[in-house]
Structure 1
Amino acid sequence: MSAYTLRQHIIFDMDDTLIHCNKYFEMILSRFTDIMLGWFQEYRLTGKEIRDKQIEIDVAGVLKSGFASKHFPLSLIETYHYFSRLIGRPIQLAEENHLMELGLSVYEQEIEPYPGMVETLEVLTRQGHELILYTGGEQAIQQRKIEQMKLAAYFQERIYIRQHKNQEALEQILSSRHFDRDNTWMIGNSLRTDIIPALAAGINTIYIKLPNEWVYNVVELKNKPSTAMYTVSSLEEVPDIIAQSISVKPNTNKRTL
């Protein structure tokens, strides 16, 4: 790192920032919808009705209890219960068990990195920046992903797993060690859990905007950022943005876009 390059603290989200996640849930939800349409075929339910109700239940549950592993399969069962009660179709234990197994299977999928994950982390590490991993979910599930992707090689002990991912959780991390907030970045795909809490904490952000984003992550950015905020479409754009930001203002990254 040259004398003119400031070392940055770069906090990465994991799911749908470094590794694929939502596409596995979409795959299971597609199977769930097909199963429900089969079970309820004589009642003329539509796939949209089923998906809309599952999304409603899913988002409400995450807002209440955070990223708990049983929440997703339970949202399938609750959707099944809703339509069973609405139509008057008997609830069957075997069908409930099938949906629980289906929902839990999302956590058994082979983990796949986003394009450029390794290259991005390698470049930032070589440049001397400090990388931090901050992910939402249950310890065992998230740790399995971290181990499969060998992410500890880049983040070492600087790995934080939280069931609730919000402003309070991020502030606890920022307060747990020395962070120069002018030179700290949050990189993530969620406006709700990554970008808005980071802007509130006074750190810079790079928002990776994905197509077909999970509804829970789609919220309105109400206030104009007082720190740097960039929107990109791929992880591979991150190193150049940080390098350009440093070169433009070598003594501070704090500015309004």
Structure 2
Amino acid sequence: MKEQTILFDLDDTLVHCNKYFDFVIEQFVDLMLTWYSGHGLTAQDIRQRQLQIDLAGIHIHGFMPDRFPKSFVETYQWFAERYNRPTVASEESWLMQLGHTVYEFTAEPYPLMNETLEELQQAGHRLFLYTGGDASIQMKKVRDLSLHTYFDDRIFVTLHKTKEFMESLMNEQRFDRNHTWMIGNSVKTDVLPALHAGIHSIHIPVMQDWEYNTGTIDIVPKGAFYQLPSLQEVPHTIHSHIKK
């Protein structure tokens, strides 16, 4: 069987991520509803404004760890100005602390993560981890789940996971594009950059994904493109494609 180069995304591909952000956002919403009781503010208003501010921050700062907590503070400040409510330094400090708690959860793998990676490794494929975020936060997840077992030092972390970075990765690592795969949940940062680079791609969507990860696939794949319901189907899909 021809050896393949397989790049895996980390968050919400191998390990859970969005559910922790959703949990912390709900705590933020509850605080805001308490502080702004009597103003007619709704939970949906708060969620939409926080999302808008958070997405704008990503375009400027990438996945810097302070970006998410600051979106709480900036949302708080936006509504304070709108409703003419004075801001309070202690409340802003509390929101920053709350936002940072999202990084304290212990990484939880998706079902059959280890079995999937081990099957591909045993088949002789080269596995790489390619993830967006702060290096210290992402590497903690790697250590928590002993992912070095599968990826060794073949780990790439970037604040901006773009098609330009993917292209630079292809060139620097001299990957054979005819035998390289990108596996991930994000259309925006996994699928589209892979298709633009002319490599194979497998999209594993998650329920109620973060808006940032969505997008329109507007490019004709040069290689294989599959959409799968779960991680455990990846080895069979790749091996079936190789045998064609």
- TM class by smaller structure: over 0.9
1:26 pairs with 22, 31, 38, which one? 22
| 1:51 paired residue number | 47
Within 2, Cα distance between the matches of 1:30 and 1:144? 25
Q: Deviation of residue 178 (structure 1)?
A: 2.7
Does 2:178 match 1:186? no
Instruction: Report matched runs for 1:14-163 at 5 Å.
Output: 14-163=10-159
User: Contact 2:49–2:75 at 8 Å: present in 1 too?
Assistant: yes
CA RMSD of aligned residues (A): 0.8
Greater alpha carbon shift after TM alignment, 99-108 vs 220-229: 220-229
In the alignment, which residue of structure 2 is the partner of 1:247?
243
Q: Percent identity?
A: 45
Equivalent positions of 1:195-210 (< 5 A) are 195-210=191-206
Name the amino acid aligned to 1:112.
Answer: E
Report SS of the residue matched to 1:98.
Answer: helix
Q: Number of aligned pairs?
A: 244
CA shift for structure 1 position 176: 1.7
Helix, strand or coil at the partner of 1:43: coil
Please name the residue that 2:231 is paired with.
235
Superposed displacement of residue 232, structure 1: 1.0
1:224 Cα offset (Å): 2.5
CA distance in structure 2 between the aligned counterparts of 1:208 and 1:60, rounded to whole angstroms? 25
Give 1:52's aligned amino acid. Answer: Q
Shift of 1:168: 1.4
How far does residue 227 in structure 1 lie from its aligned partner after superposition?
Answer: 1.8
Cα deviation for residue 139 of structure 1 reads 1.3
What CA distance in whole angstroms lies between the structure 1 residues aligned with 2:219 and 2:152?
34
- Greater Cα shift, 225-234 or 123-132: 225-234
Tell me how far apart the structure 2 counterparts of residues 173 and 222 of structure 1 sit (CA, whole Å): 22
Distance 2:232 2:21 in 1: 24
CA distance in 2, matches of 1:235, 1:78: 36
CA distance in 2, matches of 1:83, 1:77: 10
- Using the alignment, how far apart are the partners of 1:225 and 1:181 within structure 2? 12
Q: Do the aligned partners of 2:195 and 2:219 also contact (CA within 8 Å) in 1?
A: no
Residues in 1 aligned to 2:25 and 2:184: alpha-carbon distance in whole angstroms: 24
> d(CA) in 1 for partners of 2:80 and 2:230?
42
Q: TM-score w.r.t. structure 2 length?
A: 0.98
Deviation of the 1:7 alpha carbon? 0.5
Alignment-mate amino acid for residue 79 of structure 1: T
TM-score, L = length of structure 1: 0.93
Per-residue Cα deviation, 1:185-207 (whole angstroms, up to 9, x for no partner): 00000011111001000000000
In structure 2, give the amino acid aligned to 1:178.
R
User: 2:57 and 2:127 mapped to 1: Cα distance?
Assistant: 31
